[in-house]
Structure 1
Amino acid sequence: MRRDLTARQRQVLLLAANGNTNPQIAAWLDVTTQSVAEILSAAYRRLGATDRAQAVAIALAVGELGVHDIHIPDQQREAAA
């Protein structure tokens, strides 16, 4: 049985999904990198994931994150056009 992510877990996972590193997320949210790592670890456990990429994939699949929440870098968008 899957448990929903907390609002903070969803926020941090979304920042990670958009290519931010733990130090960048920590600076953005004014918390420590250790706090970011702990929040992500808790999110992984709730989702049944073992790493960042799998957590994002599962979160997208179960509706915790929306595909429109993920921002495509301009370079990749131009290459696809």
Structure 2
Amino acid sequence: MKPLTRRQREVLRMVASGYTSAQAGNRLGVARATIDRHLADVYRQLGANDRSHAVALAIYYGHITLPELAAIAGVHTQEQAA
């Protein structure tokens, strides 16, 4: 399997955090279509069917690490507590 680029991993982490393509694009300073293109490339490389499948496969293959998941979960837990 071809390794994911830094940007593809960054987009996947944002998807795992619950960002829409538009929100991720705004955050990264790129168009929504650019995010969608990155995701389409990721789907193809991982053999994923959709966003959640891509995140699951990224975790399985180590593209998203457990510390990154913990950070993502921590952000959501802190937001819910506030």
- Tell me how many residue pairs correspond in the alignment: 76
Residue 11 of structure 2 aligns with which residue? 12
Structure 1 residue runs of 5 or longer lacking an equivalent are none
Q: How does 1:1-81 map to 2 (within 5 A)?
A: 2-70=1-69, 71-72=72-73, 73-74=76-77
| Alignment RMSD | 1.6
Structure with greater helix percent: 2
Q: Which runs of 4+ in 1 moved over 4 A?
A: none
Q: TM-score by structure 1 length?
A: 0.85
Query: Percent identity of the aligned residues?
Result: 36
Q: TM-score by structure 2 length?
A: 0.84
| SS of residue in 2 equivalent to 1:41 | helix
Structure 2 residue runs of 5 or longer lacking an equivalent are none
